[in-house]
Amino acid sequence: MLTSVLKLNRRAATAASIFAIAAMVTLTAPVQAGHHEEKMSAKNIVETAQSAGQFGTLLAAAQAAGLADTLANGGPFTVFAPTDEAFAKLPEGTVETLLKPENQDQLARILKFHVLSGKVKSSALADGISVDTLAEAAAGIAAKGDGFTIEGANIVAVDIAASNGVIHVIDSVILPPEPTAYMSGSDRALDIIDTAIDTGVPLFNHGNAAATTAAYTVAAKSLMQFADEAGLSNAARARLASSLDRAHSQSSDRASAWTLRYALDDVRAELTHGTMQMARN
């Protein structure tokens, strides 16, 4: 039964490490449905969830997975919190199976798929973006009516403030993809570049050059962080570093986005052809 449940809501997530985009830049107007005006809270995420009275199963699962203390004392975090009704939608016996000690690692990964590092308010959600989760897999955001979904689950209330983060309420449990097979450093670098471009281009074309710049910046910095593993040449590293410096000093978001895009194209050319093919600056 557990195996069949974990096949639900699968999504091929790529380049998860670059998508903290939502935490970096405001992409759209706030979600309307079920909106909560954020106020300062003295309660941490666990205490806030306890006070709400509709997250008993989630809290029990967090305790069983060994994550309750982290959610209470760590952070800041953003939690997409399934209600008790959301857990009740799972096939009979699923929750009980996941709560067994032998399934602790599996349960922890599922719960981590609902958590982002950092405080991501509803104003940072946008159609078509992906956000990095603590499960080391990206979760997709999509527009639906006046609000958004995450991996198909409706976000029904947003911006519930806690002292160490924020909670958004969802109406279904979301499940992470199967761990991907080993990917070489160069393939991972290509995946980061391609995913950033696939994310940035539609945002740019819809007039949101700031979000495009944010996506390309995260990609460039991620490439710099594992340049050795990816086998990037000194020229490629210098190209990325230079583009980040110049993008920061450009007079417009559009110019910054193009500066970073040309650098990503050059690095991609090196990874695929073995040589730097310098695009326009």
Residue 182 has pLDDT above 80, yes or no: no
Same-domain check for residues 129 and 232: no
In a domain, 277, yes or no: no
In the predicted model, what is the mean pLDDT of the chain?
82
| Choice between 178 and 218, residue whose per-residue pLDDT is larger | 218
Same-domain check for residues 241 and 267: yes
In a domain, 176, yes or no: no
Of the pLDDT bands very low, low, confident and very high (cuts 50, 70, 90), residue 154 is: very high
- Pick the closest to residue 61 from 38, 31, 91, 82 (CA basis): 82
- Pick the closest to residue 25 from 120, 159, 142, 100 (CA basis): 120
Report the CATH number at residue 74: 2.30.180.10
* CA pair distance 216, 261, nearest whole angstrom: 7
Q: Which of 139, 170, 201 is the last residue of a domain?
A: 170
Residue 75 has pLDDT above 60, yes or no: yes
In a domain, 36, yes or no: yes
Same-domain check for residues 18 and 144: yes
In a domain, 175, yes or no: no
Same-domain check for residues 117 and 55: yes
In a domain, 92, yes or no: yes
**For residue 188, what pLDDT is reported?**
85
Q: Which of 170, 193, 226 is the last residue of a domain?
A: 170
Over the stretch 110-132, which tens digit does the pLDDT of each residue have?
A: 999 999 988 888 888 888 888 88
% of the chain at pLDDT higher than 90: 53
pTM: 0.58
How many domains, in total, are found in the chain?
Answer: 2
Over the stretch 32-51, which tens digit does the pLDDT of each residue have?
A: 444 444 455 689 999 999 99
Residue 133 has pLDDT above 70, yes or no: yes
Same-domain check for residues 165 and 250: no
Of the pLDDT bands very low, low, confident and very high (cuts 50, 70, 90), residue 82 is: very high
Same-domain check for residues 234 and 137: no
Q: Which of 141, 170, 199 is the last residue of a domain?
A: 170
Contact call for residues 172 and 179 (beta carbons, < 8 A) = no
Residue 152 has pLDDT above 80, yes or no: yes
Over the stretch 208-256, which tens digit does the pLDDT of each residue have?
A: 899 889 889 988 998 998 889 889 999 999 999 999 999 999 999 999 9
Kind of pairing between the strands at 147-150 and 130-132: unpaired
| Choice between 195 and 111, residue whose per-residue pLDDT is larger | 111
Residue 104 has pLDDT above 80, yes or no: yes
**For residue 257, what pLDDT is reported?**
95
DSSP code per residue over 158-172:
EEEEETTEEEEEESS
Same-domain check for residues 12 and 55: yes
Same-domain check for residues 94 and 232: no
Same-domain check for residues 189 and 121: no
In a domain, 180, yes or no: no
| Domain span at 127 | 2-170
Question: What are phi and psi for residue 188, nearest 5 degrees?
Answer: -65, -40
In a domain, 279, yes or no: no
* CA pair distance 57, 278, nearest whole angstrom: 54
* CA pair distance 260, 274, nearest whole angstrom: 20
Over the stretch 10-24, which tens digit does the pLDDT of each residue have?
A: 333 333 334 444 333
Residue 278 has pLDDT above 90, yes or no: no
Alpha-helical (H) ranges within the chain are 2-5, 21-24, 45-52, 56-64, 68-73, 84-88, 94-98, 104-112, 185-205, 209-225, 227-230, 234-249, 253-273
Same-domain check for residues 192 and 243: yes
* CA pair distance 87, 107, nearest whole angstrom: 13
Same-domain check for residues 215 and 156: no
**For residue 84, what pLDDT is reported?**
95
In a domain, 262, yes or no: yes
